[in-house]
Structure 1
């Protein structure tokens, strides 16, 4: 009997919703962002940066987990966006995601907002 990978039956897949709001592209990943699912988010974010989107807001409220692969996707997107003159804002980080950002120091390189509305209303340069 094939049981798959350890813990696989408990893993929740990642969905990625992309929409426009208040002059921004809002990317809303939901589920577990890890080495199994990061490519889905990487693809959506890369499409935004490649299209020259100046402002990307990542609504983290639906994330249940984020490992180092997921963190690297977010960091690489920030670099791509800034090289193109854009910005990445993070909003509504659940405690588990906020903790990995804090431990790694990544929260120091992102503009982080408590709410999505706050992120959408913030000036682009913030």
Structure 2
């Protein structure tokens, strides 16, 4: 009799989006190889962080994207992230940064149901060109 649990732990586990397919690779592989087999996707690993952003002292889980030259290690779980989701996340972060910049410069953003309606420039605020 063998120990099947030991065999399961000795694999790189890759979770696919959408269909919740689980792929197991029984050797270390680079993120570039996984991305070439899954075009339009990035490889991410879930990291647990303890810090000021954590609620009630609970650790915060974040998805960190891997570089193509990073190696996927045996025993870890990785997740494929589609290109569109990565773009949406970057756009959301850029929007938050822009909102903070506008608030710091004295330009107010009026909101109606979560969407910006318009910009109002205060008299002493420097002019900002928003493209």
Please give the range of the TM-score, normalised by the shorter of the 2 chains: under 0.3
Higher radius of gyration, 1 or 2: 2
> What is the TM-score of this pair, normalised by structure 2?
0.25
| Greater per-residue strand proportion | 2
**In proportion to residue count, which structure has more helix?**
1
With normalisation by structure 1, the TM-score equals: 0.25
